């Protein structure tokens, strides 16, 4: 019997164009500017997404949806340090929208097991994404000599 699942949502609103936000998600050199120590992205449906991030550690995923400038959906492989997930599959779905004045990036995380052994992991995911999106916004909107514009 499947248990209840939980998820998380994070939203970023910025003045950067959607193309810059997209590049920040999929180009390894751009990922390095706001979250990744190391990244490899095979940018296509069926591709592999691998990031060693300061806040998350090693993250490996299968790219399930890849719509440049609009959507990136990752099916995460189990990460070291995560409790066993059983049959559950954790998905992170990034969606980009723009109204011409601002760009909105939304992250929908789903499939986190509802068992109490996942409480700490879910809390870390939520808080790490909040910090990561703050860093991303800073890099997108306030370039400095130490952190050139995306």
pLDDT, position 4: 86
pLDDT, position 138: 94
CA 30 from chain centre, in angstroms, equals 13
pLDDT, position 148: 45
Continuous segment of H or E residues that includes residue 64: strand 57-67
Residue entry with tokens 């916004």:
137
pLDDT, position 150: 46
Farthest CA pair distance, the chain: 54
pTM for this predicted structure: 0.91
Residues of the chain with pLDDT under 70: 1-3, 143-150
CA distance 32 to 53: 9
pLDDT, position 143: 59
- Please give the CATH topology (third level) of the domain spanning 5-141: Alpha-D-Glucose-1,6-Bisphosphate; Chain A, domain 4 (3.30.530)
pLDDT, position 146: 43
Instruction: Based on DSSP, count helices (H) and strands (E) in the chain, helices before strands.
Output: 3, 7
pLDDT, position 128: 94
Domain residue spans in the chain? Answer: 5-141
pLDDT, position 86: 86
Angle between helix axes 119-141 and 18-26 (nearest 10 degrees) is 130
């Amino acid at each position: 019997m499947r248990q209840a699942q939980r998820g998380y949502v994070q939203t970023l609103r910025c003045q950067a164009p959607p193309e810059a936000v997209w590049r920040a998600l999929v180009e390894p050199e751009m990922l390095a500017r706001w979250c990744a120590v190391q990244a490899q992205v095979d940018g296509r449906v069926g591709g592999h997404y691998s990031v060693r991030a300061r806040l998350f550690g090693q993250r490996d995923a299968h790219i399930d949806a890849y719509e440049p400038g609009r959507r990136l959906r990752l099916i995460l492989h189990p990460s070291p340090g995560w409790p066993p997930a059983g049959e559950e599959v954790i998905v992170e779905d990034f969606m980009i929208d723009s109204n011409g004045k601002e760009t909105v990036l939304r992250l929908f995380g789903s499939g986190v097991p509802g068992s109490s052994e996942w409480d700490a992991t879910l809390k870390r995911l939520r808080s790490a994404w909040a910090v990561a999106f703050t860093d991303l916004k800073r890099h997108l909107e306030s370039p400095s000599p130490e952190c050139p514009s995306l």
